[in-house]
Chain A
Amino acid sequence: DAGVIQSPRHEVTEMGQEVTLRCKPISGHDYLFWYRQTMMRGLELLIYFNNNVPIDDSGMPEDRFSAKMPNASFSTLKIQPSEPRDSAVYFCASSFSSGPKTGELFFGEGSRLTVL
């Protein structure tokens, strides 16, 4: 079975440019999470969706960040305009709401963003 698929794996861009990160969750999973990982702040929850609906976006740093989930198989995280402090690894993860290990997260491989 295919796992969570993220693209691009690596992105290098210049300050001020728009960045779009993409995620395809595991089929049948009803939760999707976006995390940002940095050395200083660890793994921060940015936003999560349940059945394609954003539930909590309180972790989104500021208005430059936006996320969408137009259908059950696709989500995007957009940064516009990007800044050097946005440089991080962005993880997408999905989970199924029921089962013996309720909420086990399945992570993508991450998108490493570098903003120059």
Chain B
Amino acid sequence: AQKITQTQPGMFVQEKEAVTLDCTYDTSDPSYGLFWYKQPSSGEMIFLIYQGSYDQQNATEGRYSLNFQKARKSANLVISASQLGDSAMYFCAMRGDDKIIFGKGTRLHILP
């Protein structure tokens, strides 16, 4: 069975600091994908970054990077130089065997 765990229900971070959001996963499928999505207070789901299980390098998209540690089954999201607009709910997700499941999310608050 697949499982995604986000252990941080909420985080408070000072503006301009880097943020790491934790995500661990479990799957028996050798081929899988890991995603992060952002959900601002308006409710829409915004795709941020993707990492494939066979990708050799960690994924990066602008200020977002994914710290992929396959042996530890972790896929942490790193946001560099946080901004007030980064305040939102963040979801880690995994695609394995076609099914896409989500963690319970981390609510990030950026403080001015």
Which size bracket describes the interface of B in this complex?
A: 20 to 34
The answer, yes or no, to whether A89 is at the interface (CB within 8 Å) is yes
B42-62 interface code vs A (CB 8 A; 1 in, 0 out) = 011101001010000000000
Q: How far is the CA of A91 from the CA of B35 in the complex (A)?
A: 17
B44 touches A107 (CB 8 A): yes
Known contacts A102-B52, A109-B44: A42-B99 contact under CB 8 Å: no
How many cross-chain pairs have Cβ atoms below 8 Å apart between A and B? Answer: 56
A45 touches B100 (CB 8 A): yes
A residues 33-75 touching B (CB-CB < 8 Å): 33, 35, 41-43, 45, 48, 50, 55-56
A45 touches B101 (CB 8 A): yes
Q: Kindly report which residue of chain A lies nearest to residue B6, judged by CB atoms.
A: A42
The answer, yes or no, to whether A5 is at the interface (CB within 8 Å) is no
Inside 8 A of B103's CB, which chain A residues have their CB? 42
22 A–B contacts, CB within 8 A, in A order: A35-B102, A42-B91, A42-B102, A42-B104, A43-B91, A45-B101, A45-B102, A48-B98, A48-B100, A56-B98, A91-B45, A93-B100, A95-B100, A103-B35, A103-B100, A104-B50, A105-B47, A105-B93, A107-B44, A107-B45, A109-B43, A110-B43
